[in-house]
Amino acid sequence: MINQLNPVEPLVIKLAETRLNEEGVRQLAEHYTALEWLQAARSLQSNDSEFLIELAGRTCYKSFGVGINPNVTRIRGNSKDYLTNVLEKGDGSILEHATVTFAFLNVSRVFTHEVVRHRAGTAMSQESLRYVRPREIGLWIPPDLQPASSKVSDAVNEIERRYRDLESQFDWDRMSFEQKKRVTSALRRILPDGMATHLIWTANHRTIRWVVEMRTDPAAEVEIRKVFGKVAEICMKDYPLLYGDFTRNKLPDGTIQYLPKFSKV
Ligand SMILES: Cc1cc2nc3c(=O)[nH]c(=O)nc-3n(C[C@H](O)[C@H](O)[C@H](O)COP(=O)(O)OP(=O)(O)OC[C@H]3O[C@@H](n4cnc5c(N)ncnc54)[C@H](O)[C@@H]3O)c2cc1C
The closest-lying atom of ligand 1 relative to the alpha carbon of residue 119 is 29
Q: What are phi and psi of 131, to 5 degrees?
A: -90, -35
Name the 3-class secondary structure at 15: strand
Assess contact for 47 and 239: CB atoms under 8 A: yes
Please give the pLDDT value at position 4.
63
| Statement: residue 263 has pLDDT above 80 | yes
Tell me what the mean pLDDT of segment 61-86 comes to: 87
The proportion of the chain whose per-residue pLDDT surpasses 70, expressed as a percent, equals: 98
Ligand 1 within 6 A of CB of 222: no
C-alpha–C-alpha distance, residues 256 and 259, integer Å: 9
pLDDT at 119 (0 to 100):
97
Distance from Cα 117 to the centre of ligand 1, integer Å: 6
3-state secondary structure of 109: helix
Angle between helix 79-89 and helix 48-61 axes, rounded to 10 deg = 70
CB 220 near ligand 1, within 6 Å: yes
201 Cα–ligand 1 center, Å:
17
Residues in CB range of 56: below 8 A, 6 or more apart? 94, 97
SS3 197: strand
- What confidence score (pLDDT) does residue 66 get? 79
CA atoms within 13 A on the CB side of 247: 5
Cα–Cα distance for residue pair 242/87, rounded to 1 Å: 8
- Cα of 232 from ligand 1 centre, angstroms: 19
3-class DSSP state for residue 11?
A: strand
For residue 222, the model assigns a pLDDT of 97
**Strand, helix or coil for residue 216:** coil
Average pLDDT over residues 89-111: 98
Q: Residue 13: its pLDDT value, please? A: 98
Task: Determine which residue's CA is closest to atom 32 belonging to ligand 1.
Answer: 120
DSSP state for residue 103 in the 8-state scheme: E
Centre of ligand 1 to C-alpha 241, Å, is 26
118 CB within 6 A, ligand 1: yes
- Please give the distance, rounded to the nearest whole angstrom, from the Cα atom of residue 264 to the centre of ligand 1: 12
Probe target for ligand 1 pocket from 110, 116, 118, with the most ligand atoms within 8 Å of CB: 118
Average pLDDT over residues 73-82: 88
Whole-model pTM: value is 0.95
